[in-house]
Chains A and B, each alone.
Chain A
Amino acid sequence: MPATQKMTSFNNTTMTQATYIKAYYRDADALKRGLEHLKANGVEILDVLTPFPVHGLDRILGYRRSWIGRVGFIAGAVGAITGFYFQTWIFTKSYPLNIGGKPFLSVPSFVPVTFELSVLFAAFAMVIAFLIRSKLSPGQAPIIHNERITDDLFMVLAGAGVNPTEATLADLIGFFKDSGAEGILVKDDLNTAKNY
């Protein structure tokens, strides 16, 4: 039977429905153990939401190290070159002024501003890169799965595919139960939800 005509697991509409599983954990270590278990069983994990940074998740989820440091380095280099070139241009080309008998190109004098500009550029570039890459911006209305995620709950969001059969779903829920999840919620695009 083609997937489009397949019935969803818990109601009888015939529509394309991506189904998701949300599983909650009470503790960071439980979450990590659970994720290892889910990964071992090939569950497709879409996102993990935690109230604070949990070390070791990157490795379990297979995230690559962030490139944000490189953005900072490049922007810092640009800032340094800008700062140094700007001062040099002003003091040797645009408007050379004899100040206290110092040479027009007084390199030691230009170091502080060059340094500050490179830090400024690097810091702003990294923050902007972070916000763009993470799609964070003022006034966003994110989906809040559970208000306790920013408090004390750890959530795993997993994909159960499009219109999964009862059997697939039961298997998946089994993996989640074995992984130590304390609350499991199956949800599809039509916002029908069921607790397990």
Chain B
Amino acid sequence: MNKPFLISAKYKIPLLSCMAIGLVSMAYALFGEPDHGVRFWANFHLNTVWLITIALCGMVFIGLHSLGKSAWQVAIQRVPEAMALFVPVGAVLFLIVLAGLWLGWHQLFQWAHPHGDALLEMKKAYLNLPFFSIRSLGYLGGWIFFVLWWRRLSLQQDKQADVNLFRKSEKVAGGFMAFFALSGSMMAWDWLMSLDPHWFSTLYGWYVFSGMLVSGVAVLALLVIGLRKAGYLPGVHAEHLHDLGKYVFAFSIFWTYLWFSQYMLIWYGNLPEETVYFRQRHQEFNVLFLGTAASNFLIPFLGLMTRNAKRTPWVLAAVCGMVLCGHWLDFFLLIMPCTLGGQAEVGLIEIGMMLGFAGLFLWVVLRALSKAALVPVNHPYLKESNAYKTPY
């Protein structure tokens, strides 16, 4: 019934070629571009942070459902668990960015060199290299700690059906959520908002969080659909897809709500130090900026509104794919205008590097999936999850 997952050649070849494309693009960006690697580092940072947030969303998904004593997700729980196991790999990637910051390989973070900029001097108590590094290592360390602890407990439960282990894992989930509540926001300030160190918005952390929920659940849905298509996860049926679809639908609306709140308040207040952020995006990326916002709302809203759409694997997969691209572009718009400015474009390098990182992500996730049973066999709510029928 629950056959173990194997990474066959069918998966290996496309994944390896994705990673190869990524390497080629990286090499070209580093040596073929006359900009001293700005484009390379901006893309490197973009994809690293993007994938870390998606991986974290796996853990957030588990944490929220565990705290909510939810049962329906148990049949797919190993998939977000595997996603979360990318966090350590993402941490290594981020350490490369951090090392580059120390060693002067890149100039992504303008605050590292205030050069007499009054505002940046004012913020120096927070935005300085050592403190930034300590914070970053703190977030990464904390996340890795909780992810691995959860995983260990989860695997232990496969061997012995012990309610105490289950109770303990609920506590780990609570600990993670409490830690994430703060570190999730601060990560967004440090790694993304401080790329544009003069600008600030209190909503920023939650805005990034909402986008991360959409992308993370979209990736989760795609993985579940893919696994099912390959003949795995027999206990997962349309009801589970329905719920994942509802999440993509609802989180997309939530993201739009935060997008609008941030945009409208800054537009309405019309203070130059705040509007500069949207002004730049309007001037340099108007079509992309408005198009991304509109499509990230309209595609999931219209595409997943009906019950049938959420329950039809190919429709759900298509919408999730589009939404995922949309939120990658949203990340692009968070990062690129502050690093490359108006010259930024979605070119072959961007796509190539994105493919490379995505290939690495998938490789790590699939490997994690192959390391354990695809279903947490002794989970006390597993029967509920398998028998689960949505009442609406």
Contact = CB atoms under 8 A, between A and B. Distances in A.
B116 interface: no
B268 A109 contact: yes
A108 B391 contact: no
A108 B268 contact: yes
Interface string A117-137: 000000000000000000000
A101 B305 CA distance: 38
A111 B260 CA distance: 9
Nearest to A102: B268
A52 to B, nearest CB: 12
Contacts of B270: 101
Contact of B267 (A55, A73, A108): A108
Nearest to A112: B264
A161 to B, nearest CB: 36
Q: How would you classify the secondary structure of chain A's contact residues: helix, strand, loop or mixed?
A: helix
Interface in A91-115: 101, 108-109, 111
B264 A111 contact: yes
A108 B263 contact: yes
A108 B305 contact: no
Contacts of A111: 260, 264
Contacts of B267: 108
Contacts of B391: 55
Nearest to A53: B391
Q: How would you classify the secondary structure of chain B's contact residues: helix, strand, loop or mixed?
A: helix
A128 B24 CA distance: 62
Contacts of A108: 260, 263-264, 267-268
Nearest to B257: A115
Nearest to A73: B305
A109 B264 CA distance: 8
A83 to B, nearest CB: 15
Nearest to B390: A55
Interface string A17-45: 00000000000000000000000000000
Contacts of A73: 305
Interface string B264-291: 1001101000000000000000000000
Nearest to A55: B391
A55 B267 CA distance: 48
A73 B267 CA distance: 30
Contacts of A55: 391
Contacts of A101: 270
Nearest to B264: A108
A110 to B, nearest CB: 11
Contacts of B263: 108
Interface in B311-329: none
Interface string B234-272: 000000000000000000000000001001100110100
Interface string A50-67: 000001000000000100
Contacts of B305: 73
Interface in B154-206: none
B388 to A, nearest CB: 13
A72 B355 CA distance: 41
Nearest to B391: A55
Interface of A: 55, 65, 73, 101, 108-109, 111
13 contacts: A55-B391, A65-B307, A73-B305, A101-B270, A108-B260, A108-B263, A108-B264, A108-B267, A108-B268, A109-B264, A109-B268, A111-B260, A111-B264
Given A65-B307, A101-B270, 9 more contacts: A55-B391, A73-B305, A108-B260, A108-B264, A108-B267, A109-B264, A109-B268, A111-B260, A111-B264
**The 10 residue pairs across chains A and B that have the minimum distance between CB atoms:** A108-B264, A108-B267, A55-B391, A111-B260, A108-B263, A108-B268, A111-B264, A73-B305, A108-B260, A109-B268
